[in-house]
Amino acid sequence: MRREGWSFMGDDWAFLAEDATLLGYAKPMFIKPHHRTIYPHLFEGVRKPLVPSQLSKSVGRLTTVVHPYVIRYPRLADFSRRWSPEHRMVEAGTAFPGREVTTSAPLAAAVYIERFEGARSRIVERTSDWMVDRMIGNFHIEMAGFSQRVVTGLAATSVLPWREHFAAKGSC
């Protein structure tokens, strides 16, 4: 984002139009204490307090445990997102001041970035079938538990068979 001519496109939700245009949605970003060096401007002035960096991992583990229970209550989930000391939520435009937030772009290449525990980064070329399988799997696993159960119930009763459900997602 520090390079001239580059713009930000949200990576959590992206859709492909029939004309090969990538459509993106820049969801609010979760800024944590360890992001201070990347986004120092977000830590200036009075803001919601964050836990000290050394407690960040412990609090992160705790929120992972309570998350499935909190999301069952939308008002509680909204409150906890707003006031959790684990992170701050900011719009992409706030995180990248003076930079454009793009909502569409022609698709020239698809790059899938994963966390890697090795000592060096690596680039591995994958087939489009691999990419589709990975994206569908990630989409499904990141759905809320109750949504997963609804999809599973629809498949189990043949209202929407698995093969049909995933084939429709894979054809996009």
Is 137 domain-assigned? yes
Write out pLDDT tens, residues 126-149: 887 887 788 777 777 777 778 888
Looking at residues 145-164, what average pLDDT do you find?
84
Which band of pLDDT confidence, cut at 50, 70 and 90, is reported for residue 11? low
Q: How far is CA 10 from CA 25, 91, 121, 168, in A?
A: 5, 10, 23, 23
Is 138 domain-assigned? yes
Domain count, the chain: 1
* Any domain includes 48: no
Q: Tell me if 132 is assigned to some domain.
A: yes
Whether residue 36 lies inside any domain: the answer is no
Neighbouring C-alpha atoms within 13 Å toward the C-beta of 125:
1
Residues in the chain: 172
- Backbone φ and ψ for 17, nearest 5 degrees, come out as -80, 165
User: Measured between alpha carbons, how far is 96 from 109 in angstroms, rounded to an integer?
Assistant: 24
Q: What is the pLDDT of residue 2?
A: 66
Residue 169: which domain range?
Answer: 123-172
The pLDDT tens digits for 33-53 are: 878 888 888 888 766 677 777
pLDDT tens-digit series, residues 58-95: 877 887 788 788 878 888 877 877 777 777 888 888 98
- Looking at per-residue confidence, does 168 or 152 come out higher? 152
30 within some domain:
no
Residue 92 lies in a domain: no
Helix count (H) and strand count (E) of the chain? 6, 5
Higher pLDDT, 104 or 118: 104
What pLDDT does 69 receive? 81
Residue 100: pLDDT over 80: yes
pLDDT on residue 25: 79
